[in-house]
Amino acid sequence: MINRLEFSINIKAKKTTIWKALWDENNYRNWAGIFAEGSHYVTDDWNQGSKVMFLGPDGNGIFSSIETHIPNKFIQFKHLGSVVKGKEQPLTDETRKWSGATENYSLYEGTDSITLVIQIDVLKEHLEFTTAKLPKALKRIKDNCREQ
């Protein structure tokens, strides 16, 4: 069963700075390392309709499509299937349980800060892990905004 989680953090920085803290390759490696050290992505570009592989250091992970991308405002990933050693795998009964799940990153302007909101669909067996790790990742993203 898929569960929708939502996390947010207020950041005193420009939207462009926050977006760079999220998606610049080195910054992504930094905050995604909270989930697994050596995490990275592979994509040709960040355009709507493009494919992205989110991988661990072993080359295993998931592949997703960019459903919507409004730079410095919103991006939605639709997770499609698993990746083993850098290769997309056919759907299995296990991946069908979560294929189609989405992950959204939104920036909202406040009075004196920008709110980063992450909405993520998570299987029940990953709820505890995600709930423990994502707030730490948000703090690291915020810290990365200060360093730029």
Range of the domain at 133: 2-146
Strand pairing report for 40-43 and 2-11: unpaired
Residue 147 has pLDDT above 70, yes or no: no
The mean pLDDT value of the chain amounts to: 96
Query: pLDDT at position 126, please?
Result: 94
Q: What is the CATH number of the domain that holds 43?
A: 3.30.530.20
- Counted domains in the chain: 1
Band of the pLDDT at 1, cuts 50, 70, 90?
A: confident
